Amino acid sequence: MGEGGGLREKVLELMRRPGYRPRNKGELARDLELHSDLRVDLRTELAVLEREGVIVRGKKSRYRLREQEGNLLSGILRFQSKGAAWFYPDPRDPANLASGIDLERFSRIYVGARKTSVALDGDQVALRIERLGPPVWWKHAKHKRASLELPGAEDQASGRVERILQRRSGVVVGTLMERKGFVYVQPADESLPPTIELENAEGGKSGQMVAVRLLEWDSRQVTPRGEIAEVLGWPDEPGVDIRGIILRHGLHEEFPGEVEEEAGEIPSSVLPEGLEGRADWREELVITIDPADARDFDDAIWLREHEQGWELAVHIADVAHYVKPGTALDREARERGNSTYLVDRVLPMLPEALSNGICSLVPGEDRLTCCVVMRFDGKGKMTQVRFEKAVIRSKFRLTYEEAQNMLEGKRDVDDPSRRGIAGTLRECWKLAKLLRQRRFVQGALDLEFPEIRVELDESGRPAGYRREDYNESHQLIEEFMLAANEAVARAVKNAGRPGIYRMHEEPDHDKLFEFAELARAHGYEPGDLVNKKHIQSLLRECRGQPEEHAIKVGLLKSLKRASYREEPLGHYGLSKTDYCHFTSPIRRYADLIMHRALEPLLESPPTHPSRAPAQVQCAEISNHISTTERTSASAETESHRLKMLEWLHLSAHDANPPVFEAVITDVRRIGLMVEALEILQRGLVKRDEFPAGDWRLESHRMRYATMQGAELTLGQVVVVRVARVNMERQLVDFLLVGE
């Protein structure tokens, strides 16, 4: 153990002694009898331990172990729209586990708007539990009836943020203001104080958007102090809003110099020595199917029918051949965890020389792959599997739309050379359809949604949208990738190799009970949703109905979020015991780890396989990339929502504003909650803006009605147009159109 590691243990040993009282840095150095040369090392070690949440700094900068603080939990804070937040405790933190709190039962804890301290969204915080179980009023006899209407009240908990353990970014976006010589920033986030004082206000102009790095902020009653990290530009300039999202989420556009340097040293074409020990697939009909705007292609497929069934090869870009453990490329990929797909740009996990270059399976070019070759019988059951390193030369790059046309028998007359693959595609669909049917028989849930993509003009402003429905061409690729992922997970597990698996826990029964109430409100009889067959039946029943999206979203909210774990704990949604991510190593670090774990199991294993992480390292990586995945998803959702709202705002002022069919998803005193079906956008039709009439609310029937017999009821389809968009609060008001 090096000096740093030894010092760490000495510090922790001292703090664990009976009767230890919190000490400051000087007192710790004295008690540890450290030479003056090592005091800098002590400061560094204390900072690391504090950042990791192992120790905490209290009053007068005195340190103690966090586990000595009683009922404090470490976890991530996620804010809601009105300032309150949910706290998600880290289920693997030793101090959390030692607290005695059931982290499965209390997998998220409510934090009121006044109890979030100075946390920002996504920060890692220490939370003090104030209540476990139902609120006090719930236990009183006069509230017995209310308790029956509050499912899951026993599993409610609340707390307050004690301190920030680690900022996600520490960056706030706002408008630079100058009033009477005083320069400050007005944050865009309404949950923050209205003013941020600046240490240095040089560089920006009043009215411009800026990113501010917080320097000092001890209480929500005190004005924060910060410094300008970046001047973003004028509010209406293209890209300013998205750049703000990137900085607030702590994401990075540029790669460090040493990473770009390593990427630049990788050859842009396959070298002869790279072919050693590889199966040669270059003459085979290997194709890719991807979205029309895809920039990197990390998977390709090949299929052959035989007497007993089919043989399927799933080729995945061999990123592990180029990104070796311990390199700058590998460290940066691990830190990023995944690529982030914003509305107007991609923040890739790997530099463009790899992600769009040598690792992308472009047609007509030699590319190295890791291949999963699977045999299936006539009923779609996998009977054999082998893994091999290969070289391919993709014959065709198809878009989902082109593949769908071929599956439907529509010929591409402009390119006769493609007609030969239409038959192969239809054979692929025969197998994929069987795999899909088997999956649903085994309990998988159909939770796929159409994708709504906002289209931008050359200046980055929204010009419209494109809806991409989840049809057979998408399902075909999904089934083949799921089969490959499952085959790899099973092989790595059975070999006892450390790896990273995709885990999706079973939902809480109380959450399913709440979802059942939503289904009943829409006129469905859900049955016992603890039984997955009843969930599947409900999903089949609502398919194609106006309320389908609302039902699916309600179900998703009742399910737990999938994450990465170092052991195969099963995937509830896919109904698979063994499952991992393997098929996208260009954009997910978990997949790269599984490529390395698989190397000794190949048909011709390399002489010097990549060093795969040990089990304890897999646990650390799993935790980290689960967090980066959540951060990316948050940024992606925000960027797409922002541009959709901007388009709705602009189109509302058109001479002929667009109108949408919408379904009424809730009936409230303020009006109707509706969802525009074409664009999957939710909004409010205010009661004050209903068509003329003596409308009255009938809450028990979830409807508004008039004496003349007109009604607006839950589940009804209406026609709406946008009345107004509140960009700051990200809310849409609709107006009813027509009768």
pLDDT bucket at 328, cuts 50 / 70 / 90: very high
| pLDDT score for 361 | 97
By the 8 A CB rule, do 446 and 536 touch? yes
Dihedrals phi, psi of 467, to nearest 5 degrees: -100, 125
Encode pLDDT of 577-596 as tens digits.
999 999 999 999 999 999 99
| pLDDT score for 147 | 37
| pLDDT score for 67 | 64
pLDDT bucket at 551, cuts 50 / 70 / 90: very high
Distance CA 619, CA 612 (A): 13
What is the domain extent for residue 668?
A: 652-736
Encode pLDDT of 686-709 as tens digits.
999 999 999 999 999 999 999 999
Residue with tokens 């709406």: 720
Does residue 151 sit in the same domain as residue 195?
no
Does residue 572 sit in the same domain as residue 714?
no
Give Cβ neighbours of residue 179 (< 8 Å, ≥ 6 apart).
none
Does residue 342 sit in the same domain as residue 209?
no
Does residue 490 sit in the same domain as residue 596?
yes
By the 8 A CB rule, do 585 and 360 touch? no
Distance CA 691, CA 719 (A): 12
By the 8 A CB rule, do 124 and 80 touch? no
Question: Please, what is the angle between helix 419-441 and helix 472-494, to 10°?
Answer: 60
Does residue 617 sit in the same domain as residue 472?
yes
CATH of the domain at 707: 2.40.50.140
Distance CA 504, CA 562 (A): 4
Does residue 230 sit in the same domain as residue 202?
yes
Encode pLDDT of 34-86 as tens digits.
887 888 889 888 888 877 767 877 767 788 886 666 668 999 999 987 789 99
Q: Choose the final residue of a domain: 614, 642, 670.
A: 642
Local structure of residue 140 (DSSP, 8 states) = S
Q: Which amino acid is at 214?
A: L
Encode pLDDT of 618-653 as tens digits.
999 999 999 999 999 999 999 999 999 999 999 998
Distance CA 705, CA 683 (A): 21
**19 is a domain residue:** yes
Distance CA 124, CA 52 (A): 10
Encode pLDDT of 472-499 as tens digits.
999 999 999 999 999 999 999 999 999 9
The answer to whether residue 20 scores a pLDDT higher than 90 is no
Encode pLDDT of 706-738 as tens digits.
999 999 999 999 999 999 999 888 899 999 997
| pLDDT score for 534 | 95
Which H or E element spans position 294?
Answer: none
| pLDDT score for 38 | 84
Encode pLDDT of 252-266 as tens digits.
999 999 999 999 999
Residue with tokens 């989420």: 249
Q: Which amino acid is at 589?
A: Y
Which H or E element spans position 521?
Answer: helix 509-521
Residue with tokens 């790279």: 274
**713 is a domain residue:** yes
Does residue 373 sit in the same domain as residue 469?
yes
Q: Choose the final residue of a domain: 554, 584, 617.
A: 554
Does residue 464 sit in the same domain as residue 383?
yes
**273 is a domain residue:** no
**312 is a domain residue:** yes
**288 is a domain residue:** no
The answer to whether residue 529 scores a pLDDT higher than 50 is yes
Q: Which amino acid is at 354?
A: L
Q: Choose the final residue of a domain: 132, 166, 200.
A: 166
| pLDDT score for 634 | 94
pLDDT bucket at 142, cuts 50 / 70 / 90: very low
Other CB atoms within 10 A of residue 427 CB: 14
573 vs 146 pLDDT, higher one: 573
Encode pLDDT of 295-312 as tens digits.
789 999 999 999 899 999
Does residue 542 sit in the same domain as residue 442?
no
Distance CA 492, CA 567 (A): 11
Does residue 582 sit in the same domain as residue 727?
no
CATH of the domain at 231: 2.40.50.700
Q: How many domains does the chain have?
A: 6
Give Cβ neighbours of residue 310 (< 8 Å, ≥ 6 apart).
303, 304, 375, 376, 427, 430, 431
Q: What CA–CA distances, in Å, run from 222 to 231, 344, 604? A: 25, 37, 64
**34 is a domain residue:** yes
| pLDDT score for 70 | 63
| pLDDT score for 392 | 98
Does residue 636 sit in the same domain as residue 699?
no
Does residue 416 sit in the same domain as residue 564?
yes
| pLDDT score for 606 | 87
**403 is a domain residue:** no
Other CB atoms within 10 A of residue 68 CB: 14
The answer to whether residue 120 scores a pLDDT higher than 90 is yes
Work out the end-to-end distance of the chain between its first and last CA atoms, rounded to an integer number of angstroms. 78
CATH of the domain at 45: 1.10.10.10
Give Cβ neighbours of residue 33 (< 8 Å, ≥ 6 apart).
none
pLDDT averaged over every residue in the chain: 90
Beta bridge partners of 533: none
The answer to whether residue 419 scores a pLDDT higher than 80 is no
Other CB atoms within 10 A of residue 291 CB: 13
Distance CA 681, CA 644 (A): 9
Pair of tokens at residue 697: 């609310």
By the 8 A CB rule, do 500 and 566 touch? yes
Among 709, 685, 711, residue whose Cα is nearest residue 697: 711
**292 is a domain residue:** no
| pLDDT score for 717 | 94
By the 8 A CB rule, do 74 and 126 touch? yes
pLDDT bucket at 146, cuts 50 / 70 / 90: very low
Burial category of 267 from C-beta neighbours within 10 Å (exposed 0-12, middle 13-18, buried 19 and up): exposed
How many CA atoms lie less than 13 Å away from 169 in the CB half-sphere? Answer: 21
Which range has the top average pLDDT, 54-58, 200-204, 666-670, 727-731? 666-670
